[in-house]
């Protein structure tokens, strides 16, 4: 991994920031020319495979000793923060849909669904931005941001699935929704922990002549963890993330080669996943909702994310206002719940898919480009 002092780190950082938009734009271009891709089921399968690897890598990068001091605020941000962001953004989308000049007319539940698909932050993007800059953050901000971005995807995924089921079934009771959350999270946590321990034991006890097969074995275990947890009606994405935490904080054979392999695979799947999402959308269709999508993205950057962060961090008096502002800004949008929505498309799907894909792309570019200047401004003001 490149160090911040490496002369190549700055151009690579710029390349990463522009890639957030370019990789989906490339899919749009290919979709509108000779390459046609209409199979949502194949895109769903590719997305599930990609997300499993991405979340496992995020778990491996989360260290116990780093997150222990910020465990409480990190968990609050990754659960309550996601819920509040979805509610605030959903209310804004619902308010927009009532305007005569907009081309959308959505009920409140569908507005919440669109907001839920944009409510989580992207672990790979946040990790890359924080680790490619010369950011020596105080007050344990870096581990808190990494914990939040690595653990909030399951919450956004669950919100998305629950809202899809509410829309398709014309309503669910509060007890059913709460029970689903509890069962999915408990099974995900238990299976992730147990299978993570099993993976560590197998990797350390097997004696394979070709050491290049150890990363392949771990990759197979990632897919096994997701599949067996999903069959047990648990949250497979949460299980994969916890399994990654167990493996990443344990001593395993050929650790360096394994981490390098998983990191490279994570970036590859990031590109593949966004490319597939771009291939499913026609550029001329996105022009119809461009203005509304940009307004939603601006709302999330300026109001939705900052307001949810401020409310979540109110009980934690040791975090000062400048740190809270920085946390509220570093919130790059991801594609986990977007892919979840592709897995179980509600009957209201249509133009909504185009509105879902556009704001994360724009907010990711804006946040990624401005994260470093925001940090430098914060650093100068504290001198």
Average pLDDT, the chain: 77
* Of the candidate ranges 104-108, 127-131, 237-241, 374-378, the one whose mean pLDDT is the lowest: 374-378
Q: Is 326 exposed, middle or buried (0-12, 13-18, 19+ CB in 10 A)?
A: buried
Output 83 or 367, whichever has higher pLDDT. 83
How far is it, in rounded angstroms, from Cα 50 to Cα 272? 8
Looking at residue 304, the DSSP 8-state letter turns out to be I
Does 8 have pLDDT greater than 50? no
Lowest mean pLDDT among 125-129, 222-226, 250-254, 302-306: 125-129
* Position 302 pLDDT exceeds 70: yes
What does pTM read for this prediction?
A: 0.73
Interatomic CA distance for residues 140 and 156, integer angstroms: 24
Q: Give CA torsion, residues 135, 140, 145, 147, to 10 deg.
A: 130
Taking residues 22-38, report their average pLDDT: 57
Residue pair 54/267 in contact (Cβ under 8 Å)? The answer is: no
Q: Is the pLDDT of residue 296 over 50?
A: yes
Q: What end-to-end distance do the CA atoms of the chain give, in Å?
A: 30
Whether the predicted pLDDT of 239 surpasses 90: yes
pLDDT in tens, 345-374: 544 444 444 444 445 444 444 454 444 444
Could you identify the residue written with the tokens 């290919």?
30
What was the pLDDT predicted at 98?
Answer: 78
Degrees to nearest 5, angle at CA 309 with 58 and 159: 60
Instruction: Please give the angle made by the CA atoms of 136, 140 and 144, to the nearest 5 degrees.
Output: 115
CB 254: neighbour CB atoms within 10 A? 17
Q: For tokens 């704001």, what's the residue?
A: 359
Phi, psi of 205 (to 5 degrees): -95, -25
- Give the angle 346-367-287 at the CA atoms, nearest 5°: 50
Q: What radius of gyration, in Å, describes the C-alpha atoms of the chain?
A: 20
- The β-bridge partners of 122 are none
- Which range has the worst mean pLDDT, 15-19, 78-82, 89-93, 272-276? 15-19
Residue 134's pLDDT is 55
- Higher per-residue pLDDT: 251 or 154: 251
Does residue 54 or residue 135 have the better pLDDT?
54
Q: How many alpha carbons lie under 13 Å from residue 362 in its C-beta half-sphere?
A: 19
Residue-level pLDDT at 181: 79
Distance, in Å, from the CA atom of 305 to the CA atom of 329, rounded to the nearest integer, reads: 8
Residue 376 pLDDT greater than 50, yes or no = no
Confidence of residue 342 (pLDDT cuts 50, 70, 90): low
């Amino acid at each position: 991994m490149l160090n911040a002092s490496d002369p190549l780190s700055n151009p690579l950082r710029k390349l990463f920031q522009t890639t957030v938009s370019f990789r989906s734009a490339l899919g749009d271009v290919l979709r509108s020319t000779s390459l046609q891709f209409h199979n949502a089921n194949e895109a769903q399968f590719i997305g599930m495979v990609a997300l499993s690897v991405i979340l496992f890598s995020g778990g491996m990068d989360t260290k116990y000793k780093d997150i222990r001091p910020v465990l409480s605020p990190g968990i609050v941000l990754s659960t309550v923060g996601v819920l509040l962001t979805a509610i605030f953004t959903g209310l804004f989308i619902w308010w927009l849909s009532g305007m005569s000049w907009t081309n959308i007319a959505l009920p409140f539940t569908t507005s919440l669904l669109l907001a839920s698909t944009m409510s989580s932050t992207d672990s790979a993007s946040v990790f890359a931005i924080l680790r490619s800059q010369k950011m020596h953050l105080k007050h344990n901000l870096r581990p808190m941001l990494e914990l939040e971005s690595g653990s909030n995807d399951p919450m956004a995924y669950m919100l998305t699935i629950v809202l899809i089921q509410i829309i398709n079934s014309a309503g669910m009771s509060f007890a059913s929704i709460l029970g689903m959350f509890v069962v999915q999270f408990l099974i995900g946590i238990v299976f992730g922990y147990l299978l993570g321990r099993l993976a560590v034991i197998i990797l350390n006890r097997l004696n394979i002549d070709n050491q290049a097969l150890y990363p392949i074995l771990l990759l197979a275990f990632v897919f096994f963890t997701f599949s067996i947890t999903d069959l047990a009606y648990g949250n497979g994405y949460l299980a994969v993330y916890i399994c990654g935490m167990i493996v990443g904080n344990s001593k395993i054979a050929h650790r360096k080669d394994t981490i390098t392999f998983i990191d490279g695979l994570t970036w590859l799947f990031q590109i593949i996943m966004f490319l597939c999402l771009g291939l499913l959308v026609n550029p001329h269709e996105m022009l119809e909702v461009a203005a509304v999508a940009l307004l939603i993205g601006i709302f999330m950057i300026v109001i939705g994310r900052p307001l949810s962060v401020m409310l979540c961090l109110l009980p934690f008096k040791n975090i000062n206002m400048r740190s809270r502002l920085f946390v509220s800004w570093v919130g790059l949008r991801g594609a986990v719940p977007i892919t979840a929505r592709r897995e179980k498309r509600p009957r209201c799907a249509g133009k909504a898919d185009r509105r879902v894909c556009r704001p994360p792309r724009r907010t990711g570019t804006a946040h990624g480009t401005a994260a470093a200047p925001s940090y430098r401004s914060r650093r100068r003001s504290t001198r």
